[in-house]
């Protein structure tokens, strides 16, 4: 994982430089994995004092890899939104591949020479390998869609996507009807984020793979490539959510409006 260098003058006084850098890297990684996350939560996760966490967050914010997101506290009415930290687009791209420019140029060249369909074929081949590897892991979770979603999240996390799967049980304080139950699958990191911003077929193909793996008609609510803080996929789990033989899901798989760009 490539982290953004931090100027020496931003490091804490009296603390060895390498120790400061390691702590800052840990803070950045925790924001990636748990964001939107508060400074207090980061301190508890990393066992670092609040003052130290805020010092590192200030430095990361000044360097442009972390930003503050105002989030309304659930269950409350009027009031000042809480401060939560998330990675910026620059922060996401800093944890990417050194060969990004080469890959971008190659895909543009492929599209120019063989047409846009060639890029689609490339994306399908790339994700076909993922689908083949993930299928037995997801199938081992059984027929329950929520359990399969959690297995998919674990497989994605093992591949560096920093994924989580959480069941959505209520909305605005009201319990969602059983037939409209769902899971939100969130991915905090995408190794091809900048490529997907120029070639959305990568996101579309990945979404189609998720649908086939889980056996339901999933919907993308947000993506890192389009400016979201996480990739969020809506997965219906209620009655009638399974795909039919024709490949279409039941009408009961309607998407319940939920906040995007955040972990549920």
How do the pLDDT tens digits run along the chain, 264 residues long?
444 444 444 444 444 557 777 788 888 888 877 777 888 888 888 888 888 888 998 888 888 888 887 655 544 445 566 778 887 766 766 655 445 667 778 888 888 888 888 989 988 988 999 999 999 999 999 999 999 999 999 999 888 888 999 988 766 567 777 778 899 999 988 878 878 888 899 999 999 999 999 999 999 999 988 888 889 999 998 865 665 443 444 433 444 444 444 444
- Give the whole-angstrom CA distance, residue 132 versus residue 127: 9
Query: Is the dihedral angle over the CA atoms 214, 219, 225, 227 positive or is it negative?
Result: negative
Inter-helix orientation angle 50-62/39-46, to 10° = 120
Q: Report yes or no on whether pTM surpasses 0.75.
A: no
- Cβ(223)–Cβ(231) below 8 Å: yes
- Give the whole-angstrom CA distance, residue 143 versus residue 216: 11
- Give the whole-angstrom CA distance, residue 85 versus residue 28: 10
**DSSP character for 180?**
G
- CB hemisphere CA count around 81 (13 angstroms): 10
- Give the whole-angstrom CA distance, residue 149 versus residue 146: 5
What are the residues whose beta carbons fall under 8 Å from the beta carbon of 148, sequence distance 6 or more? 138, 139, 141, 142, 213, 214, 215
Number of helices followed by number of strands (H, E) in the chain: 9, 8
């Amino acid at each position: 994982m490539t982290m953004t260098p931090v100027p020496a003058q931003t490091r804490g006084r009296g603390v060895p430089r390498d120790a400061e850098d390691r702590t800052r890297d840990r803070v950045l990684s925790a924001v990636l994995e748990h964001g939107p996350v508060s400074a207090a939560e980061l301190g508890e996760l990393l066992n670092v004092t609040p003052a130290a966490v805020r010092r590192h967050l200030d430095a990361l914010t000044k360097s442009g890899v972390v930003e503050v997101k105002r989030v309304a506290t659930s269950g409350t009415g009027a009031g000042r939104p809480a401060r939560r930290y998330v990675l910026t687009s620059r922060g996401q791209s800093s944890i990417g591949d050194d060969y990004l420019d080469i890959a971008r140029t190659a895909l543009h060249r492929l599209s120019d020479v063989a047409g846009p369909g060639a890029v689609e074929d490339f994306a399908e081949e790339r994700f076909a390998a993922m689908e083949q590897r993930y299928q037995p892991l997801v199938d081992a979770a059984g027929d329950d869609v929520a359990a399969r979603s959690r297995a998919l999240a674990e497989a994605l996390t093992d591949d560096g996507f920093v994924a989580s799967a959480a069941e959505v049980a209520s909305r605005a304080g009201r319990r969602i009807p059983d037939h409209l139950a769902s899971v939100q699958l969130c991915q905090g990191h995408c190794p091809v984020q900048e490529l997907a911003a120029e070639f959305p077929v990568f996101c579309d193909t990945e979404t189609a793979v998720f649908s086939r793996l889980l056996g339901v008609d999933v919907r993308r609510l947000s993506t890192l490539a389009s400016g979201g803080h996480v990739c969020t996929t809506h997965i219906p789990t209620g009655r009638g959510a399974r795909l039919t033989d024709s490949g279409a899901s039941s009408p009961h798989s309607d998407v319940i409006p939920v906040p995007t760009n955040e972990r549920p």
